[in-house]
Structure 1
Amino acid sequence: MKKKIAIAMGGYSSESRISINSGNMVYKNLDPALYEPYRVHIMQNEWFVVADDGTPYPINKSNFTVKIHDNVIVFDCVFNTIHGTPGENGLLQAYLNLVGIPQTSCDFYQAALTFNKRDLISVLKPYGIKTAVNYFLNKGDEVKVDEIIKRVGLPCFVKANKAGSSFGITKVKEAKDLEQATKVAFKEDDEVIIESFLDGTEVSVGVITYKGKILALPVTEIVSENEFFDYEAKYLGKSQEITPARISKEQTKEVQNIAKLIYSKLKMKGFTRSEFIFHNDQAHFIEMNTTPGLSEASILPQQATAAGISLKDLFGSAVEAAF
């Protein structure tokens, strides 16, 4: 009997539309001989299954079932493609754990930790993971411009601490622009992280559990046409994504090993994609995505293809790992 798979997409953040693109890609590529997929939109005001004819059927949140044409559908597994809240910060994972449904991404604690850049950096420091110099602000804190610049220097990056897809990020080159940049970031989150500028080659490393083993995928080099790898660069074609990256074999092995170390030490599951910058020829960790993009424009599917893994096998392996 085919397993009924709920592909969770959407979410409550600015990344909702991107997530729906990812979810639709999974919907199209799950093996129809093994799985019966359902597109489940998790939106702020309602959760519903979208039928092939576009009809929405509401999800029963008490047990995550849906009634379609008098048939109650009980899902065997949830394929989590939600970027941002509630799918990337642990809320959905905790809920599914309570109702007893396996899901493809990491557990709720790991999701909450990795979604919080400040806390993740703190946890990784004892393992010798290099990062940018950081300064943190909570909403309502005084923005002490001179103190911040003394610590991180100029230029610097001002980011929402808990946000993705480069929403709420500003590259600040002059002191007079710093306070306005924090206001932009605070529109996305109530915490802000300010980072020193790292000059160097930016790369992205996918790490997945594939057929029972932790696997680092081929490394992708990111060359943005803009000031940094922002929303336009990620999703509107304003960047080159070169796989394999134009770095040495030694650098490739180094950054893959660091990404696998992080995955292992944090007890991750499912798909992850970690970003690094080779600054002064050393890999510096930027952030980890635990529900990385899976659309046609996304990096991790490109890396899987370069590794000789089809999307059908990639997505099917995630489902089987969840079981």
Structure 2
Amino acid sequence: MKPVKVAVIMGGYSSEHSISIESGATVVKHLHKAGYEVFAVRIEQEHWYHLDTNNNKHTINKDDFSFEADGQKVIPDAIFNVIHGTPGEDGLMQSYLELIGIPQTSCNFYQAALSFNKRDCLAVLKQFGVKCAQSYYLNKQTDVPLEEIVKAVGFPCFVKPNRAGSSYGISKVYELDALQPAIDKAFEEDHQILIETALVGTEVSVGAFDRQGEVQVLLPTEIVSENDFFDYEAKYLGKSDEITPARISQEETARAQAETARIYELLEMSGLVRCDFILQDGEPYFLEINTNPGLSEASIIPKQAEAANIPLSELFAQLVQNVLPQK
């Protein structure tokens, strides 16, 4: 039997491009170990291409996602989607791949679009009783009523792009004079922004994935940032401790895991996700869900998989098997 052909798509069009490349390299390595025929594919604004082991670029034919490898035309059996940000995490790539009939490992296009828009995702989950911070939404075309914002969310508060990841454009604001500069910074990343009350408690992140039709939830990771919050430096430049399992009680662990599973099911998710919470007074307050979480060696999900004794080759293979046609 011929090995299953898997194209690992990475890169993308956002500020998270380089982080996605690191995640993609991890996936390629471990899918090779799992016995798949793996092809690294870069998705760039100006060029989609398969990058072979000799660093030769083979252009993707967008009609059917075919490309040349070793002198042969290849059409992948499945796509492992590890693009952070657009177009892999906002539903665009999912829609395209569904139209041309190639399965991919991330969630479906609607779930991707909904979860990528923090405001809309919060609005949906609040209807089901999911605890969230108080928030205020702005877009670039509207006036910025600073006093009204402060009345709604208070200080300290977080100002963040509505549709961006890896903590790009986020500021923690303690006083009125700093609010407008923080808003301007967030608007550099997105024309929609969200301003939220800063919750007080322990930050935890919980991974989950579908395993043979059941939601498997991993152990929470505790985030302890050297900076004022879990910003880009803390996430990727070593300015934080990520402690797995989190130093929280069994009851708090169970609540965070149960809320992760509930959110996964409420949003009708598939694939691998990571939910971020603040545990305030022992209760998990939802921050956001990442549908293409970081998978580099330094990322949270690989550490949670290790704590659960799940080899990355097994985890990634499960995600591929989930989307292949059942015989």
TM-score range, shorter chain: over 0.9
Matching residue of 1:242:
243
After TM superposition, give the deviation of residue 32 of structure 1 in Å.
4.4
- Structure 2: 5+ residue stretches without partners: none
After TM superposition, give the deviation of residue 296 of structure 1 in Å.
0.7
Once residues 234 and 68 of structure 1 are traced to their aligned partners in structure 2, the CA distance between those partners, rounded to angstroms, is 35
Once residues 260 and 32 of structure 1 are traced to their aligned partners in structure 2, the CA distance between those partners, rounded to angstroms, is 29
The answer to whether structure 1 residue 78 and structure 2 residue 42 are counterparts is no
After TM superposition, give the deviation of residue 212 of structure 1 in Å.
3.5
Q: How does 1:191-270 map to 2 (within 5 A)?
A: 191-270=192-271
Matching residue of 1:16:
17
The answer as to whether partners of 2:34 and 2:314 remain within 8 angstroms in 1 is no
AA at the equivalent of 2:243: I
CA deviation map 1:62-116 (0-9, x unaligned): 1100023541101000000000000000000000000000000000000000000
AA at the equivalent of 1:195: E
Matching residue of 1:105:
106
Matching residue of 2:183:
182
Give SS of 1:60's match. coil
Q: How does 1:33-44 map to 2 (within 5 A)?
A: 34-44=35-45
The answer as to whether partners of 1:208 and 1:216 remain within 8 angstroms in 2 is yes
Matching residue of 2:272:
271
Identity %: 53
The answer as to whether partners of 1:31 and 1:316 remain within 8 angstroms in 2 is no
The answer as to whether partners of 1:59 and 1:65 remain within 8 angstroms in 2 is yes
AA at the equivalent of 2:266: K
Give SS of 2:142's match. coil
The answer to whether structure 1 residue 140 and structure 2 residue 165 are counterparts is no
Matching residue of 2:305:
304
**Once structures 1 and 2 are overlaid, which stretch shifts more, 61-70 or 172-181?**
61-70
The answer as to whether partners of 1:93 and 1:103 remain within 8 angstroms in 2 is yes
The list of structure 1 runs, each at least 4 consecutive aligned residues, that deviate by more than 4 angstroms after superposition, is none
Once residues 306 and 207 of structure 1 are traced to their aligned partners in structure 2, the CA distance between those partners, rounded to angstroms, is 13
Taking structure 1 as the reference length, the TM-score comes to 0.98
Matching residue of 2:154:
153
After TM superposition, give the deviation of residue 150 of structure 1 in Å.
0.7
After TM superposition, give the deviation of residue 249 of structure 1 in Å.
0.5
Give SS of 2:255's match. helix
The answer as to whether partners of 2:33 and 2:313 remain within 8 angstroms in 1 is no
CA deviation map 1:285-305 (0-9, x unaligned): 000000000001100110011
Give SS of 2:127's match. helix
Once residues 257 and 217 of structure 1 are traced to their aligned partners in structure 2, the CA distance between those partners, rounded to angstroms, is 11
Cα RMSD (Å): 0.9
- Structure 1: 5+ residue stretches without partners: none
After TM superposition, give the deviation of residue 211 of structure 1 in Å.
3.8
**Once structures 1 and 2 are overlaid, which stretch shifts more, 249-258 or 204-213?**
204-213
Once residues 175 and 283 of structure 2 are traced to their aligned partners in structure 1, the CA distance between those partners, rounded to angstroms, is 27
The answer as to whether partners of 1:78 and 1:101 remain within 8 angstroms in 2 is yes
CA deviation map 1:31-69 (0-9, x unaligned): 446310000000111100000000011000111000235
AA at the equivalent of 1:178: L
The answer to whether structure 1 residue 286 and structure 2 residue 287 are counterparts is yes
After TM superposition, give the deviation of residue 177 of structure 1 in Å.
1.1
AA at the equivalent of 2:220: V
Matching residue of 2:53:
52
AA at the equivalent of 1:280: D
The answer as to whether partners of 2:34 and 2:313 remain within 8 angstroms in 1 is no
AA at the equivalent of 2:194: I
Distance 1:109 1:143, change over 3 A: same
CA deviation map 1:146-202 (0-9, x unaligned): 110011001100000000000010111110111111111111111000000101100
Matching residue of 2:95:
94
The answer as to whether partners of 1:210 and 1:314 remain within 8 angstroms in 2 is no
The answer as to whether partners of 2:94 and 2:109 remain within 8 angstroms in 1 is yes
Matching residue of 1:64:
65
Give SS of 2:63's match. coil
Give SS of 2:215's match. strand
- Count how many residue pairs are aligned between Structure 1 and Structure 2: 323
After TM superposition, give the deviation of residue 140 of structure 1 in Å.
2.1
Give SS of 2:286's match. strand
Give SS of 2:39's match. strand
